[in-house]
Amino acid sequence: MSGSLVIVAGGSSGIGRGLLEACPWSDARRIDVSRRGAQGCEQLKLDLANPTSWPLVAEMFEREVGGFAGERVAFFHCAGTLTPIGFAGEMDPAAYARSVLLNSAAPQVLGAAFLRAAARSEARCHLVNVGSGAAKNVYAGWSAYCAGKAAADHWVRTAGLEQECRGGRVRLLSVAPGVVATAMQEEIRATPEGDFPDVGTFVDLHEGGILRQPAVVARELWALLDADLENGAVLDLRDA
C-alpha cells in the first residue's frame, strides 16, 4: 500500500494541476476531483458547483481517507470560479448561484467531509484551501468571488481551532497564492471595464511580467506542509 495520499479538488488545470505534478511524496497515490479530470492520476469527474456531487466526494473521502493505513494525507481545495464577472443584481441568477455554491459552500461542505473521514485514519492529515487576496480586498464585479473566498478563509480559521481542541489530528491552512498565470487571469483581462472596473490593473500586471507560474506556486504550497504554522492559519504566499 502507498504510504501517502494526495487529493486535489480542481486538479485539471492551473495551480491544482501544478500541485499534482509537483507532489514531493514519491510514494503518493494522486486523485483529482474536477469536471475535466487531470491526466496521469486517478480521476473522479464531478462538477463541484453542483451540490449533488458533494455526497460522492464525501463517499470517496470515507473510502480512501477513512480507511487509509499510510503515513500522510493531503487534500488541496483549488476549485473556484470568477464566472460570472459583473455587478451583483445585474447577472444571470443561475450563474451567480453556481459561483456562490462553488466558491463558498463547496469548500466548507467538502472540508467538513474530509475532517469526518480523517478522524478515522491514523495518518497525519493536511487540508489546504487555495484562497485569494480577494478575501480581504474589495473588487467591483467580483461580489460572489470575494465573499466566497472570505467565507472559506474564516471556515479554515474556525475549523483549525476546532481541530486543536480535538488534539490537532488534521492541520488546516488557507493560502492566497498571489497573481498566477492561469486561465482565470485570462478571463479577467478579457472582461469589459463596465463589468470589472479594475481590469486595467490586471492587464498591467500581465504586461509587466508580474504573474507567477503555477508550477512555482505549487512547490511553495507543498513546502508549507512542513512549516511551523498555527492550525487554521490564513496567509499570503507573498508574505510567507
Is the pLDDT assigned to residue 168 strictly greater than 90?
no
CA neighbor of 73 nearest in space, from 128, 12, 11, 14: 128
pLDDT in tens, 112-153: 999 999 999 999 999 999 999 999 999 999 999 999 999 999
d(CA 21, CA 16): 9
Contact 212, 136 (CB under 8 A): no
Contact 102, 148 (CB under 8 A): yes
> How many other CB atoms are there within 10 angstroms of residue 122's CB atom?
10
What CATH homologous superfamily does 4-178+214-236 map to? NAD(P)-binding Rossmann-like Domain (3.40.50.720)
Contact 43, 56 (CB under 8 A): no
Residue with cell 475535466: 36
Contact 186, 202 (CB under 8 A): no
The arithmetic mean of pLDDT across residues 148-164, rounded, is: 98
Is the pLDDT assigned to residue 169 strictly greater than 90?
no
Compute the mean pLDDT over every residue in the chain, rounded to the nearest whole number.
95
The arithmetic mean of pLDDT across residues 12-26, rounded, is: 95
At 240, is the pLDDT very low, low, confident or very high (cuts 50, 70, 90)? low
> What pLDDT is stored for residue 239 in this prediction?
86
Is the pLDDT assigned to residue 1 strictly greater than 80?
no
- ∠ CA 8-108-104, rounded to 5°: 95
- ∠ CA 15-36-32, rounded to 5°: 55
